[in-house]
Structure 1
């Protein structure tokens, strides 16, 4: 079906790199962007708009890739991403930049699921772990170089080039995919699930915003929309997410474990840098590198997962990953004010290795458990649940951290981790430092609970099942 795989994989890696870097490159350019465009209060939406639209459109693209083919949807997604990049690069106000980032997210929603589906299409089962590791390494390297590249471009040239530099690279990726990817796909008439798409979009956006902004009414409205989406999917002629996936133990387990992976991933990403800087006294760059080690363990373990699941199966490979996550969570709880930063990096490396084993084995297990014509739908759904898990995890872990902090600093007026960290920067006392350490410690304890829930999610998958693709 598809030949000349090496240049195609290079094109897929370049496509994935653009979307991956975009998730981290903006953070270090905040001062320069605000200096030019103003409206600092709106800046969080520059990041949130990208994440929201990417999450919403990931399952939609996965379904459309099954209907219209992988190649055209990837090219369309890349095109939309580049339009958003161009608009962001020339943005003349903060609202325009937020709109541009939302457009980028719409395009990025195609890139991760379709690159993973194409990898599954191109390579036999025994080689998919290696290719998944290569694609995962793109995200790991991007996490390392994204913030640094954003800082360099905004300081030496202009913050606008963190968006404009993607244009020639994106065009190159589109050219490679267009010329080298040969896809044999039989198209047939379909009825798009427009109502289901609208209900899903409203539900995801309202729920994620409600969780992030602690707006219970918005979260309830979003949940109600998702319930309506589930009801409609049982009646739609060609549902966006077919109801049978919830009855299939393989796909159900992949969805649930994807949700847990997203929640576990957000813990160290949000709280370790704060702990490293406020409690351990590390600088911002050193704290960032302690976290970035996680992005090394992930692709290494993902690359090895193929050998494991061919020997012991997908479920047991995922369970091995969850054991590593549990070990890393216990290691995190041993962090204190006297711990060396190298130990924090070791914790994140073990955590990343565990996440790599779980995510790769469960994703590929879900892919091989369904026919090829349903592979895009399942892949997009698994990745959607991982993104949704990140939003849910941010809310749950913030509640754990902030309640712990409030209990330790009762009556001081500090109600959030950010408040306490800012107080330390302004000369806050030892009591604030100890309270901050205790609240982050409770977050790490929560990771142990999440690892246990992950084991239960993985155990839903049968140890052996038919490989249909």
Structure 2
């Protein structure tokens, strides 16, 4: 085990600065790519693969985040963090050179592999360096830094796409990652106890197979394959079988990738469940809102970026408040306030129409961001405080895993809803050979020049189809917000926290 990260050789302010840079990199990556995707799709084509750009990245994070959390408990935080940053930077470099959507998806897998180590280990290092009292404030600062940096992302993504080149949304990660690497390598010092390590690679593989199968079902079901077709049925069986074998594997192995006992704590179970569903909400907003603003409202990438920037403003403001508020009224009541704001944001998106304009869309984003800020910080602090040092890495990783898993499922599920509804809409016009439209022709809406060359009738058909499809997506998002609120209500009250987590 690690002895103590708080010793005379570790310079906390400089290590914290390096961690902040890595969080900044992660924040920029998320918001820039979301804003840039309409421009990327308009150039590379294959609109039907839109959600895979997000899903591939999130899938690798979901599969690796737990095993990297476990590896950090065994080998130390520093080497795992360094590995993650290096792989993330290589993936970012290659993404900028992608010549097709298939290549971009492949390189996003590599980015996700690196991100699976960077994000949970960064938060765990902070958890090691600071006491419980300090941690609440520092985690709030980290969330604020993430949010403040994310304010730059959407607008910057719009500028890159509109005036420079979309490749820079990936390449700008490189200097940030190198600075973060230098800080951790030079100023973080820790000791590990030498012992035989048992790594649950089989568990990781089974989880990968299971999640990948279910994501294929969600994304391709009703679009490429019928719901009762042999591929869908086969993938469902593979996914279910892989999940059962994963649980069996975790029960029998000495060092499981995900110790099942952590799920016996009511606080951890419910906080992680709410984190999972809130991850679905956040990906639903960030993935599809820029497409609506650019493709249906016919606004520029910069304006689309603005609608996501408001979410990034609401998040850090609420996170800063949450760090102080939970010390006064408790994590549960603080999270409840966040749940209410998520409900308001979901309602605003359900009522979103092209006529309401980007300001309405930005208001919905702001409430979603504020709701995330008031709920995510209390969840993480409560979970880290409920376990000892030996379990803190995997407990932190479990929370990150559930958010990434939620985002993965959300990207696949909501992407499936989008494609299925759009396909249904376009099928109605297939009888006319001159109006034979496909899902991938929605690419044309995302480029102003190509859009202007469309016949008026074709433009109307595509925009109406995209509007109806995204309306269904936001209905789903609103339902998920309600489920999240229910999970928060079921959290143990503060007076029960000690008994639940001791």
Q: Into which bin does the TM-score normalised by the smaller protein fall? A: 0.7 to 0.9
Give the TM-score normalised by the residue count of structure 1.
0.85
CA distance in 2, matches of 1:212, 1:289: 28
CA distance in 2, matches of 1:190, 1:289: 48
Residue 269 of structure 1: CA displacement? 2.0
CA distance in 1, matches of 2:367, 2:410: 20
- The secondary structure found in structure 1 opposite 2:255 is coil
| Cα pair 1:249 1:460 within 8 Å, conserved | no
CA distance in 2, matches of 1:152, 1:277: 14
| Cα pair 1:42 1:94 within 8 Å, conserved | no
2:409 is matched with which residue? 392
Q: Does 1:293 align with 2:310?
A: yes
1:66 is matched with which residue? 73
1:226 is matched with which residue? 243
Q: Does 1:445 align with 2:475?
A: yes
Q: What is the aligned counterpart of 2:180 among 158, 173, 187?
A: 173
- Per-residue CA shift, 1:111-168, capped at 9, x if unaligned? 1101111222223334434433433345435544446656767898877666555444
CA distance in 1, matches of 2:159, 2:467: 32
Residue 454 of structure 1: CA displacement? 0.9
2:226 is matched with which residue? none
2:132 is matched with which residue? 125
Q: What is the aligned counterpart of 1:260 among 267, 274, 277?
A: 277
Q: Does 1:338 align with 2:370?
A: no
1:458 is matched with which residue? 488
2:197 is matched with which residue? 190
CA distance in 2, matches of 1:422, 1:218: 32
Q: What is the aligned counterpart of 2:294 among 277, 282, 295?
A: 277
Q: How has the CA–CA distance of structure 1 residues 328 and 417 changed in structure 2, closer, same or farther, with 3 Å as cutoff?
A: farther
- The secondary structure found in structure 1 opposite 2:124 is helix
CA distance in 2, matches of 1:192, 1:249: 27
- The secondary structure found in structure 2 opposite 1:293 is helix
- Per-residue CA shift, 1:199-245, capped at 9, x if unaligned? 12222333334433336233542332122101211111111111112
Q: Does 1:76 align with 2:106?
A: no
Q: CA RMSD in A?
A: 3.7
Residue 410 of structure 1: CA displacement? 6.8
CA distance in 2, matches of 1:81, 1:260: 26
1:54 is matched with which residue? 61
Task: Select between 431-440 and 282-291 the one with higher mean Cα deviation.
Answer: 431-440
Q: How has the CA–CA distance of structure 1 residues 163 and 323 changed in structure 2, closer, same or farther, with 3 Å as cutoff?
A: closer
CA distance in 1, matches of 2:358, 2:207: 42
| Cα pair 2:218 2:416 within 8 Å, conserved | no
Give the unaligned 5+ runs of structure 1: none
CA distance in 2, matches of 1:440, 1:221: 30
Residue 106 of structure 1: CA displacement? 1.7
CA distance in 2, matches of 1:114, 1:31: 33
Q: What is the aligned counterpart of 1:370 among 387, 399, 414?
A: 387
Q: Does 1:249 align with 2:266?
A: yes
Give the unaligned 5+ runs of structure 2: 222-230, 431-435
Q: How has the CA–CA distance of structure 1 residues 7 and 252 changed in structure 2, closer, same or farther, with 3 Å as cutoff?
A: same
Q: Which has the higher contact order (CA 8 A, sep 6+)?
A: 2
CA distance in 2, matches of 1:4, 1:26: 33
